[in-house]
């Protein structure tokens, strides 16, 4: 049983050692608010591990387990199947993993869970590098972004997680951003009401790793949506639904200028990135018309 030393805000403790300006608290609070107390969390190591507790100290009021980086989807599948075997078909198993635990290391177990269509919700909060261990580049790091392992800017582009997820033909998948909390809550609610393997990919800018003042987290996330660096979309029953069209599609100048990690990107890189963003959005638009 949980002993309360403080009054939680929603289902989350009010004081958590996440960085100044990090929106992961907001993601946890809104996800757990929508999911309700009948939820089990699976959290791999990463920034989200702040929420899975340290020694006897817990940070969330719902039960959870901290697994390993590579098997969070497998652990969640096991828990969900255990519940179903006991006749419990109401408890939702939610994985909240970072981009390293999803796009790099945990991709095989997520792929297996999606293939078997396990009854889990997989949420990836994407800060586009291994922020918790000191900003190492992940396969979610975009082109031209500087990290400690790609100091001159990443030479290649990021993996397209949502396309990988859609290729598994899951019942529900979506991308969301911390810039639009209502949209995020609506997508989590929709995922809650669907059965099967559901995946939500949430962009969460990182003031420490991306190099911008902590006050600008939401502004950076909004700029990413405006230039098409982050496309808001939903995938449901084989059909793609795109969000509002980005106002400045393919013009990431403002988005790049906000962050120190893109300070090495010149005209050429910006033009290349812009062309890629336009091309990707047009491809998704064509898919949405099918």
Partner 1 sequence: MQQNTPMNTPSKRRVLGPCSHVLVAANTGSWRLERPEVDAELCVRCGTCARYCPTACITVHKEGDPLDFDWNYCKGCGICANECPKQALTMVPEGGDD
Which chain residues interact with partner 1 by CB under 8 A? 1-6, 8-10, 12-18, 20-26, 29, 37-38, 52-59, 61, 86-88, 90, 181, 207, 213-219
What minimum distance in Å lies between the beta carbon of 94 and partner 1? 16
What minimum distance in Å lies between the beta carbon of 266 and partner 1? 28
What minimum distance in Å lies between the beta carbon of 227 and partner 1? 19
CA distances, 25 to each of 5, 142, 163, 204, 272 (Å): 19, 24, 27, 10, 34
Nearest one of 142, 147, 99 to 256, comparing CA atoms: 142
Closest to partner 1 by CB, 206 vs 240, is 206
Q: Scanning the structure block, which residue is given the tokens 């100290």?
A: 57
The Cα–Cα gap between 202 and 204 comes to 6
Closest to partner 1 by CB, 13 vs 141, is 13
Nearest one of 277, 199, 203 to 245, comparing CA atoms: 277
Phi, psi of 69 (to 5 degrees): -65, -35
The Cα–Cα gap between 202 and 218 comes to 13
**CA dihedral (18, 23, 28, 30) positive or negative:** positive
What minimum distance in Å lies between the beta carbon of 245 and partner 1? 23
Contact 287, 168 (CB under 8 A): no
What minimum distance in Å lies between the beta carbon of 230 and partner 1? 17
Closest to partner 1 by CB, 132 vs 141, is 132
Closest to partner 1 by CB, 61 vs 278, is 61
Closest to partner 1 by CB, 5 vs 289, is 5
Contact 42, 65 (CB under 8 A): yes
What minimum distance in Å lies between the beta carbon of 12 and partner 1? 8
Listed in sequence order, the DSSP H helices in 123-214 are: 161-167, 181-193, 207-210
Closest to partner 1 by CB, 247 vs 282, is 247
* H or E element in which residue 90 lies: none
Closest to partner 1 by CB, 52 vs 147, is 52
What minimum distance in Å lies between the beta carbon of 176 and partner 1? 14
């Amino acid at each position: 049983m949980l002993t309360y030393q403080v009054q939680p805000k929603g289902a989350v403790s009010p004081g958590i050692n996440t960085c100044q300006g990090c929106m992961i608290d907001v993601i946890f609070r809104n996800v757990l608010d929508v999911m309700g107390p009948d939820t089990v969390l699976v959290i791999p190591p990463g920034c989200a591990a702040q929420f899975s507790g340290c020694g006897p100290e817990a940070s969330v009021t719902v039960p959870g387990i901290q697994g390993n980086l590579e098997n969070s989807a497998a652990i969640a599948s096991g828990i969900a199947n255990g519940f179903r075997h006991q006749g419990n078909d109401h408890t939702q198993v939610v994985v909240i993993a970072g981009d390293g635990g999803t796009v790099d290391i945990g991709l095989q177990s997520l792929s297996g869970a999606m293939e078997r269509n396990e009854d889990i919700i997989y949420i990836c909060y994407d800060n586009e590098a291994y922020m918790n261990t000191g900003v190492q580049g992940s396969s979610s790091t975009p082109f031209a972004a500087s990290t400690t392992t790609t100091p001159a800017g990443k030479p290649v582009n990021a993996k397209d997680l949502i396309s990988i997820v859609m290729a598994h033909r899951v019942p529900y998948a979506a991308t969301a951003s911390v810039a639009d909390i209502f949209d995020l809550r609506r997508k989590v609610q929709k995922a809650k009401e669907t059965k099967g393997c559901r995946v939500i990919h949430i962009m969460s800018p990182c003031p420490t790793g991306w190099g911008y003042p902590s006050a600008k987290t939401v502004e950076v996330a909004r700029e990413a949506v405006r230039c098409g660096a982050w496309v808001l979309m939903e995938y449901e029953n084989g059909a793609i639904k795109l969000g509002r069209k980005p106002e400045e599609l393919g013009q990431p100048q403002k988005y790049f200028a906000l962050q120190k990690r893109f300070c090495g990107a010149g005209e050429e890189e910006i033009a290349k990135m812009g062309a890629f963003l336009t091309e990707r959005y047009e491809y998704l638009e064509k898919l949405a018309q099918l």
